[in-house]
Amino acid sequence: MNIGGEAPSIEPFSQTITENGKSKGVVKISVKGATASEVYNRLPDAWYYTFSPVEAGGSLSYFYRDACYVTMGATEYTTVSEKDQYGRRKRWGSCKLVDDTRAYHFIGVINE
């Protein structure tokens, strides 16, 4: 079975600063509606630094994160699957038709 594909065509960025006795981290995102915004200021999930999928207990486990940008007229809403300090999806903007529980995909015209 062949799982995966080609590497994404982006230039990855990583910066490491070491201070003995301290552990801290940050996750940032650059997506329309939340350009270069901080998602959270804590150590990122260990999955960010390993291969996906991995075999665990006889089945495959996948690292998955999503992001969604919704625009309707002057309304803009962006959300990512990373959780904020309250356990909700991190979001920017607001819209009456969506909430912070999932990534939304609309096709067509919606009048709000």
Predicted local distance difference test score (pLDDT) of residue 5: 66
pLDDT at 104 over 80: no
Of 97 and 27, the one with more pLDDT: 27
For residue 20, pLDDT over 80 is answered with yes
pLDDT of 59-96, one tens digit each? 998 888 888 888 877 888 888 888 887 888 888 888 77
**Residue 46 scores a pLDDT above 70:** yes
Residue 3 confidence (pLDDT) above 70: no
Q: How far apart are CA 112 and CA 99, in angstroms?
A: 14
